[in-house]
Amino acid sequence: MIQQLLRLALFFFFCYFYAFMLKDKLGYHKRLVWIVVYCFYVIVLYAAVLAGLLQLASVGLLVVGLVLAGYYLLKKIKNKRKHLTQLMRIDHLDFLMAFLLVLFGSTLFMTQLVHYDNFSHWALIVKYLLTESSLPAISDGIISFSAYPIGSSLFVYYVSWVAGYSESILLIGQFLLIIAAFYALFAVSRDDRKALVSGLIFSSLAVFNYFNIAIRMNTLLVDFLLPLLALAALSGIYVYRDNFKLASFHTAVILSVLGIVKNSGVFFVLLVLAYYLFIAIKQMKKYGFRLFTIILMIGTVFSTFILDIVWGQHVKSTFVEVTSKHAVSLSSYQEIFSSKSSEIIDQVTATYIKTILSLETVSTQGILLIQIVFIGTMLFIHFGFKRKSKLMPVFIVLDSAIVLYYVGILLMFLFSMPTDEALVLAGFDRYASSMVIFGLGVYALAMAVEMDRLFYEQSLQARTYKSFKSIKHKKAYQTSTMLLFFISIGLLLSENNGMLYTNKQYENTIPYKVKQVTGDNMILNEKRYLIISSDKESVDNYLVSFVGKYFLYSPNVDAIESLMMSDEAFIALLKNYDSIVLIDDHFTFQALTKKQLGVELKPGLYSTADLLKGI
């Protein structure tokens, strides 16, 4: 544990000087540098893994970080009288973010993987990258979802490569991406001294977590990360709306990574690009249609898709004649859609409409909240301040995006989901929550800008603690600020307590039972394992087999619960495997082994050769 903490500190140390360089050379906003640095890591590692140079690139990133650290530390020593530009001038926001890092980081440090999808893909691909230092090939059956992009997985890989592999480090790596993206949202605040604006944005994280309940931050799933990356991109574009070069750089770096986090991330890429193009057109109207600006705009748009295009070509060339679940291809969509009868299509559509119209659906509550806060805020500004709000265009565009997104989810169920999953709208809460979080984040950003316009004193230089219209307004400002921060911190503490409660239940989970017996193997193998479990539901939905594949680190893992068979069939079954894994007391299995093999077995890992010796 101490060693991992020290190695994590080393990771932050090198990241700091990458961020310092952006601040020093480009004048980058300090709240934006962290997510840009993390996305830069992903881009470098992405190019390297496609070229078969993942290990070399990982070392290279550390070496460059060391060189930057040496350069800036020496520069500071030589210029004692000339202070370098400080990256981290500590303010109230930095204390808040440090609080979040310590609060959730300490909890995640004690957290193990539990969610189904961690084992089916998200943790498994990181483990594969760590052990094999390459992308899976067609011969590697361990990775089932070969079409899934690896954007966030590469960052989690790098954090684990530096800090040392463990389940908790994987989760911390994901959390660092999340918190860096969220930190970028504060950049839209023109005046960091106005705590009410910061409090508004900070409170959005607490609200996000309510609508993120289907995922939470103790998983490696990316449905929460997608909207946060999009919001971080929007924040940077707004901040650099008068500096088109930096706006383009920021857009290209973050959106190119967003596009390779998950296939559905392309929707958010398009939304952010629409805002970027809006800013670009405003720039050209203001300064003229210069060739450089047009080339930069086209280059930025193209660069946001290049990594995704390259990934698609890699999947097509590597996994020839292999159809992965959720693969992005016209033939795959046609095949899945044609397998659904008109009755099935009608049933899925009816279930979908009923779900999104139900007030019991959490995401529907979120969509309604977006409508209420936008309309309520515009009315308050109109009647309370007697001013016209600039929120209406944002509201209209956002609602249009929500409608398109929800239509897209329905089409996904019809065209890319197997019938059994489509009928129950598998994963709907996760998919819909991404849009809810994005919508609430857009409100927070737009309201932060609008709120600054409503302040009595518009000149930053003239603002002081006395810059209020009246004592009454000042007291209202102070009370609102304190309430926002206290309520937000309370909600975040509640979220953390929920994660701690989940940790206490870990011993009752399938991952705990499997890991207790198998350990966490790090050598990829082709051994054949049969896991025996009395948990029928977890066997039938393949949770046991996916967890087994992860911990045993073999593609040849099966799980079984029902052993109602003849003695001969039981022996024949055992002969098909190299090892038997008993993860809990199973009356039928233990009775059969005692009868047929003359041994009383307890939960453990057993060699089939040893069990069948003499038969």
pLDDT band at 612; cut points 50, 70, 90: confident
Q: Locate 198 and state its tokens.
A: 């910061």
Q: Could you tell me what percent of the chain has a pLDDT over 90?
A: 66
Beta strands 557-560 and 579-582 are unpaired
Q: Give the residues across from 159 on adjacent strands.
A: none
pLDDT band at 484; cut points 50, 70, 90: confident
pLDDT of 377-408, one tens digit each? 999 888 877 778 889 999 999 999 999 999 99
Q: Locate 531 and state its tokens.
A: 């896991």
Are 533 and 603 within 8 A, CB to CB? Answer: no
Are 138 and 318 within 8 A, CB to CB? Answer: yes
Per-residue confidence (pLDDT) for residue 456, from 0 to 100: 43
Highest mean pLDDT among 276-290, 310-324, 325-339, 349-363: 349-363
pLDDT band at 145; cut points 50, 70, 90: confident
Average pLDDT over residues 150-163: 96
pLDDT over 60 (residue 106): yes
Residue 566, class by beta-carbon neighbours within 10 Å (0-12 exposed, 13-18 middle, 19+ buried)?
A: exposed
Per-residue confidence (pLDDT) for residue 239, from 0 to 100: 96
* CA proximity to 55, closest of 3, 131, 127, 122: 131
Average pLDDT over residues 589-601: 90
Lowest-pLDDT range, 66-75, 323-332, 572-581? 323-332
pLDDT band at 471; cut points 50, 70, 90: low
Per-residue confidence (pLDDT) for residue 462, from 0 to 100: 45
Is the sign of the CA dihedral 351, 357, 359, 363 positive or negative? positive
- Cα 112 to Cα 282: distance, rounded to the nearest angstrom: 49
pLDDT band at 323; cut points 50, 70, 90: low
**Which three-class secondary structure string do you get for 3-53?**
HHHHHHHHHHHHHHHHHHHHHHHHCCCCCCHHHHHHHHHHHHHHHHHHCCC
pLDDT of 165-196, one tens digit each? 999 999 999 999 999 999 999 999 876 666 77
Can you tell me whether residue 580 is helix, strand or coil? Answer: strand
Highest mean pLDDT among 70-84, 128-142, 276-290, 524-538: 524-538
Lowest-pLDDT range, 98-112, 277-291, 296-310? 277-291
Q: Locate 109 and state its tokens.
A: 């440090």
- Cα 101 to Cα 347: distance, rounded to the nearest angstrom: 45
- Cα 535 to Cα 124: distance, rounded to the nearest angstrom: 23
pLDDT of 233-277, one tens digit each? 999 999 999 999 999 999 999 999 999 999 999 999 999 999 999
Give 182-235 as a DSSP string.
HHHGGGG-S-TT-HHHHHHHHHHHHHHHHHTTTT-SSS---TTHHHHHHHHHHH
Residue 321, class by beta-carbon neighbours within 10 Å (0-12 exposed, 13-18 middle, 19+ buried)?
A: exposed
Task: List helix spans (H) across 532-606.
Answer: 536-540, 543-552, 567-575, 587-596
Output the average pLDDT for the chain.
89
Q: Kindly list the domain boundaries of the chain, sorted by start residue.
A: 2-328+455-503, 510-611
pLDDT band at 333; cut points 50, 70, 90: low
- Cα 589 to Cα 573: distance, rounded to the nearest angstrom: 12
pLDDT over 50 (residue 465): no
Average pLDDT over residues 2-16: 92
- Cα 61 to Cα 55: distance, rounded to the nearest angstrom: 10
pLDDT band at 328; cut points 50, 70, 90: low
Average pLDDT over residues 336-341: 70
Per-residue confidence (pLDDT) for residue 331, from 0 to 100: 58
pLDDT over 90 (residue 107): yes
pLDDT of 42-81, one tens digit each? 999 999 999 999 999 999 999 999 999 999 888 877 775 4
Per-residue confidence (pLDDT) for residue 459, from 0 to 100: 42
- Cα 166 to Cα 229: distance, rounded to the nearest angstrom: 25
The whole-model pTM stands at 0.93
Per-residue confidence (pLDDT) for residue 334, from 0 to 100: 65
Sheet containing strand 579-582, strands side by side = 557-560, 529-532, 579-582, 604-607
Average pLDDT over residues 536-558: 96
pLDDT band at 326; cut points 50, 70, 90: low
Chain centroid to Cα 48, Å, comes to: 22
Lowest-pLDDT range, 331-345, 437-451, 525-539? 331-345
Per-residue confidence (pLDDT) for residue 457, from 0 to 100: 44
Is the sign of the CA dihedral 220, 222, 224, 230 positive or negative? positive
- Cα 279 to Cα 455: distance, rounded to the nearest angstrom: 25
Alpha-carbon distance values, 476 to 199, 376, 471, 482, 487 (Å): 14, 18, 9, 10, 16
Give the list of residues 6+ apart from residue 75 with CB closer than 8 angstroms, or none: 84
Per-residue confidence (pLDDT) for residue 318, from 0 to 100: 81
